[in-house]
Chain A
Amino acid sequence: MNRTIQLHGFSKNDEMVFTSLLSLLSNKTQYQWDVVQNRAAEVVVIDVDNESDTEVIRNFERDGCKVITYGQPGLIDSTLQLNKPMRAAAILRCLAEVSTNVAVDKPNKPRENEVLSVPSQQPQHNIPVSTPIPTGVSVSYRLKRWPDPSILKATPGATRICAIMLKQVLSAEEIAESAGLALSSVREFIGNCDQKGYLDIKQRVSQIRTPPAPKSRSNPILAKLRLKFGARV
């Protein structure tokens, strides 16, 4: 069952980061969360650094909305709070808490505006090379630090993803395309890295274009060496 969440007082960048993280985490949350642009959502996340009017929070609560506050650490006095900078683990914790309060049989309130974007986290297969990247603003990632072995071992092909993400700021779709891996694997890896703070997350305007061709300079010797040293893919 889908649940609705609204972001209030968010900067465009934070909104994009939150929406992206929510998408990446959708296989780890109890419900599928849709980000909506109206006040009829079941949960609202309020950036209290930009919205200091406590009456606004009370209004949301009066409307039956569960409120999660988002702001600088130490400035928020709330049980449901997200500290800046935004971390996937904190989002998961807050959503788990509100999920226990949002009744399972409560119907979703009617949406007045469109859903922003939280793509389903269904397993996906390798994307064909010719698949166009949609236009619009996309979230892109760069790896700041080579992850620890536990993260590398969690996702087949993780080392390959790291090599691609270390130098370039790319969207999950572009990374999947370059690595020749399933988008779901890339999203899983990005989610794990984000929890450890290994990522630079940037908002980027993408154009209609053919995605980059797989970048591999693979040759049979390198492939054999990889197998020799224990690579799974």
Chain B
Amino acid sequence: MSELKLVITGTAGVGKTTAIHSLSDKPPIVTDADTTDELSEIKDTTTVAFDFGEIYLDDATVHVYGTPGQERFRHMWEIIAEGALGFILLVDARRKDPIADLEIYLDNFRQYIESTSAVIGVTRTETEGGQCIEDLYNYLEQKQLFYPIMAVDPRDKSDMSQLMLSLLAMLEYG
């Protein structure tokens, strides 16, 4: 059996665990714990180690890992990223500074993303999503980085499939 892995990362509460639910063929393993800091205002629990789902193919299983969102669990990120096939970066359009959020994850995973590829899914785009996506594209262009950016609802399997297909296209042709 071959083993491959994909990594979903982004800020706490952005929808990583939900995204893994949408992509995984089996109910994902989650490592949630009660929130203790300012995050408790927006959600009751948060991932403290990693979430883990599986996509079954004929003769292989692709593992999908979600990193813990809170920066205090940053030490876990490299462990999860090592050997990943590609990265899905989720950005919450309703947060104060989505560009700064993206920058954190692009910087942290840079060495891994440069040797693979990434796609950026923007969640909670109901109100100002269009402008947020435009701002993120402008930021990437300044940095001479070229990754797909699209609005996604992590609960929607079709959105997540489209995100996954974009990542696969970037891995194969980008």
Contacts and interface: CB of A to CB of B under 8 A. Distances in A.
Nearest to A216: B172
Interface string A44-69: 00000000000000000000000000
A218 B168 CA distance: 9
A162 B62 contact: no
Contact of A159 (B60, B149, B166): B166
B172 A217 contact: yes
Contacts of A230: 161, 165
B3 to A, nearest CB: 10
B2 interface: yes
B57 A218 contact: no
B174 interface: yes
Contacts of A225: 55, 57, 62, 164, 168
A149 B162 contact: yes
Contacts, number: 72
A104 interface: no
Interface range, B side: 20 to 34
Nearest to A179: B173
Interface stretch (A11-19, A29-37, A80-88, A163-171): A163-171
A164 B174 contact: yes
A160 interface: yes
The main secondary structure of chain A at its interface with chain B is helix
Interface residues of A, number: 27
Contact of A229 (B147, B150, B165): B165
Given A146-B149, A163-B172, A217-B171, A226 B165 contact: yes
Nearest to A167: B146
Nearest to B174: A163
Contact of A228 (B57, B150, B166, B169): B57
B173 A163 contact: yes
A222 interface: yes
B58 interface: yes
Contacts of A160: 169, 172-173
Given A224-B57, A224-B60, A229-B161, A146 B169 contact: no
B140 to A, nearest CB: 10
B4 interface: yes
A221 interface: yes
Given A146-B149, A226-B165, A230-B161, A221 B2 contact: yes
B170 interface: yes
24 contacts: A145-B149, A152-B162, A159-B165, A159-B169, A160-B169, A160-B173, A162-B169, A163-B166, A163-B170, A163-B174, A166-B170, A166-B174, A167-B146, A218-B172, A221-B2, A221-B62, A222-B168, A222-B171, A222-B172, A224-B60, A225-B55, A225-B164, A229-B168, A230-B161
Given A144-B137, A163-B170, A166-B147, 4 more contacts: A221-B4, A222-B171, A231-B165, A231-B168
Interface of B: 2, 4, 55, 57-58, 60, 62, 137, 146-150, 161-162, 164-166, 168-174
